[in-house]
Amino acid sequence: MERIDNLMHTGLNIIQDDKYFSFGIDAVLLSMFVRLKRGDKVVDFGTGVGVIPLMLSTRQTHLKIKALEIQPEVAALALRNVELNNLSQTIDIVNEDLKNSVLLYGHEKFDVVVSNPPYMPLGVGDISPQNSYAIARHEVHCTLSDVVKASKAVVKYGGKVNFVYKSSRLVELITMLREHKLEPKRLQLVQSRQNSESHIFLVEAVKGAKSGIKILPTLVIYDDGENYTDQMKKLCFSEDKNE
């Protein structure tokens, strides 16, 4: 069943369908973590219903965003979301495999890469019987290595690659980024509550940069109840200044 939801603080709306994997807080956090400049060329690998490009479009002007999604029916829904919000001049939804991104766009064409890739390798955990959910959660169509390789290929020298990923695979991702000359420069752990373990993290890597990383304060999503912390409210509901 379809529904239309408000997209956080953005003033945008998003169509979601129970048949497909709905966006979560991880996509929202990644959208707010990314640093953007006016006129940046951005690519989102595995856009789903398009939440990340929609949110990015509110944070800076004159962006040009390519958003790749391998599932035709999900890409079609993402396109409807772009059209619903009159953002066709900013966001281009592309029904394509991210592994073909160099063939589509060439080498070193983007200032910023963003991705919320599947967290689970095949063979780990139960795979959802719903195909769309399985593809979103498990490495059915692409591995972490595929996403990192594609990111390195299409991002400009000095460009930024941004991921949100499962904390238990932090070392794996950091190692892989450095092997591909993508130097981690900003890292932020995320935990549900003050006393819980980190379950996801956000990382920005810069192509060709020197070593040296900034560890940001841990982001705590909820207070002792079910309300957002002041930290989350400031991040997601205040005017963004791209700092």
Q: Which structural domain, as residue segments, surrounds residue 160? A: 2-237
Residue 180 lies in a domain: yes
Residue 97 lies in a domain: yes
Q: How many domains, in total, are found in the chain?
A: 1
Segment 156-164 shows an average pLDDT of 99
Radius of gyration of the chain (CA): 17
Task: Give the whole-angstrom CA distance, residue 187 versus residue 164.
Answer: 10
pTM score: 0.91
Residue 215 lies in a domain: yes
Task: Give the whole-angstrom CA distance, residue 14 versus residue 6.
Answer: 6
Average pLDDT value for the chain? 90
Q: Could you tell me which of 187, 164, 129 has the C-alpha nearest to residue 51?
A: 164
Q: Given a cut of 70, is residue 132 above it in pLDDT?
A: no
Strand partners, 65: 42, 91
Task: Give the whole-angstrom CA distance, residue 215 versus residue 185.
Answer: 8
Strand partners, 51: none
Residue 242 lies in a domain: no
pLDDT tier for residue 243 given thresholds of 50, 70 and 90: very low
Q: Given a cut of 80, is residue 128 above it in pLDDT?
A: no
Residue 16 lies in a domain: yes
Rounded to the nearest 5°, which phi and psi values hold at 188? -140, 120
Selected residue with higher pLDDT from 201 and 138 = 201
Q: Given a cut of 50, is residue 129 above it in pLDDT?
A: no
CATH number at residue 44: 3.40.50.150
Segment 200-205 shows an average pLDDT of 98
Residue 168 lies in a domain: yes
Residue 243 lies in a domain: no
Q: SS3 of 76, please?
A: helix
Selected residue with higher pLDDT from 47 and 18 = 47
According to the model, what pLDDT value does residue 136 have?
Answer: 52
Q: SS3 of 179, please?
A: helix
According to the model, what pLDDT value does residue 241 have?
Answer: 44
Q: Given a cut of 70, is residue 131 above it in pLDDT?
A: no
